[in-house]
Structure 1
């Protein structure tokens, strides 16, 4: 199967109302476990990948390790794999394109690409982030660019999320025009607001499964459901509890 075929197969899994479920993994071993359980595709999470190697989240783990880890995961199964690439490990478009080209060379079918300033404050402006999305798209015509807005994740007061919908949709439209393949809205948990985004977005919508159920996501028209750091956190809890039981 060619890279283009794998990327196309991955894109086809994004169906509103019948979402692709991604129980995020962090290494080749966890990838094989989830693949063996019947997954249709695999996705890393930046936090578990970093935490599994003793690094904090937020592009603190070296890019070379991220790429090597991606290669090992992709080699471990026949499933399409998407990589949480955070902010692309660069600000300027030229370096972003170069970094994503390296990611595509690992065989990754897709990537997450966020609009918060990693290691800084706030968000990239809509114009700058759209230019950054275009730079990511320039790296490869077929890679699935899951453009993530952190508006809802950063606003801890869920009662304020309704006031952010207009900007979120503006960002999603700009990212779509710049070449994004999907729109990720982690942190948004209100079913009516999720449905509003799904209805208005020209891109398939991805939610994080913290505070919502799969049935809620389906009814809202979500096309992709990601569990982010939850699987890794649950496994670490089991390990700690088991050790306590031994003592």
Structure 2
């Protein structure tokens, strides 16, 4: 069966192993579909006879590295056979940080894993919904999220998402809006930029409340002044009573 040209992004599931011949290697690539419409995780066996790729995988790469493997996918001739991706080129998209294996820190790391993983799951779910699983026509932008440190068996917490430039701009706007609010507040709509907020603050600080109150009450019929005074008091705080203003 003819080999199928294929480019595949995924995380190195385990350490690469030397092949049967010199300057060859085999490894497993853990791929996340990042959509509700496909199998969420797939592990694809990979091999290479390219000496540079083999040496890089055996000496430089570690589990958790995000790789882009370009090559040819061969399908088995029998139902019990194994598909393999024969790599012609390899690109490192993201390097997993080295994990400190000090046993004294193991308990502390375990205590924080649950919170971190639940946060990743929540972010992955929101990004999947945000992108509606398909980036649309044209060039797309890929977002990768994963835990820090050597991933090892934690590859189920790695996700990749493709979104369009338009959605990327919207996402950037939402982040900018969040930055305009305190951590305890949530924006209900698009927030003003910091310069506009500063201009509005300066404008309201320059308002003469007594002069404003006098102007409003002098233009108000006498029988309506108590209600207007109460309304202004609710808005601005204490204001002069009607009898304290000019007739």
Which structure has greater helix proportion?
1
TM range (shorter): under 0.3
TM value normalised by structure 2: 0.19
Which one has the bigger strand percentage?
2
| Structure (1 or 2) with the larger CA radius of gyration | 2
Greater relative contact order (Cα 8 A, min sep 6): structure 1 or 2? 1
